[in-house]
Every structure is written in structure tokens, then in C-alpha cells.
Amino acid sequence: AQSVTQLGSHVSVSEGALVLLRCNYSSSVPPYLFWYVQYPNQGLQLLLKYTTGATLVKGINGFEAEFKKSETSFHLTKPSAHMSDAAEYFCAVTLYNFNKFYFGSGTKLNVKP
């Protein structure tokens, strides 16, 4: 069975600082990986995804993530945080499961002025 672990339920950074949100997965074969963002009282919006090909993927709003098979990780980064980045971020995985997506527990990002 696959699972997703997000280290750090809360991350706080200053505006302009690097954002790093951690995601590790457990799977015997490479999964399909996603990062979603959720603003208060809204649905989830896809930030980026890894399916096949290039392991460094770029998403919306300046975010990117790198799939590292050796580390079973898919960490999300952004070089410079903006106040509007404050939200909940979920890492998700699906693997040959025909529609089953597994979500991590989420990381709440706080951006300080």
C-alpha cells in the first residue's frame, strides 16, 4: 500500500524567504505525485504534478518540485514567498489504483510580513 507523509504540519517563513514543504511517499514502484493548495473555505487547486519524464516539475505561482526516487521524496519549493502563498498545501499520490488518490495530512504555510 502507498502512503504520503508531510513533515511539518505548520511552516512559517518571512515574505521573500525560501519556501520548502516536505513530502515523502512509500511505494514499491514510482507513483504519480501531486501538490495541491487549498485556501480557506475553498476547494483544492493543482499546483503541479509528476507523472513521467523530467523529475523537476514547475507549477503555477512560481512553485516547483523535484521527484527523487532514491529519497522517495517530492518536496515543494518556491524561491521567494509572497503573502498570497499563505494556505494549506497537500501532497498526494496515486499508483495504478484506477482513481484512488492518497493525500498527506497537509502543511499550513504562514507567511510573515
Partner 1 sequence: DTEVTQTPKHLVMGMTNKKSLKCEQHMGHRAMYWYKQKAKKPPELMFVYSYEKLSINESVPSRFSPECPNSSLLNLHLHALQPEDSALYLCASSQDAQREYSGELFFGEGSRLTVL
Which positions lie near partner 1, rule CB under 8 A?
Answer: 32, 34, 36, 41-46, 49, 51, 90, 92, 94, 96-101, 103-106
Phi and psi angles of residue 61, each rounded to the nearest 5 degrees, phi first = 60, 25
**Shortest gap between Cβ of 7 and partner 1 (angstroms)?**
15
**Shortest gap between Cβ of 4 and partner 1 (angstroms)?**
9
User: Under a CB-based contact definition with an 8 Å cutoff, are residues 78 and 64 in contact?
Assistant: yes
Question: How many residues are listed for the chain in this entry?
Answer: 113
Rounded CA-CA distance 11/21 in Å is 8
Nearer Cβ to partner 1, position 15 or 103? 103
**Shortest gap between Cβ of 21 and partner 1 (angstroms)?**
14
Nearer Cβ to partner 1, position 51 or 110? 51
DSSP 17: S
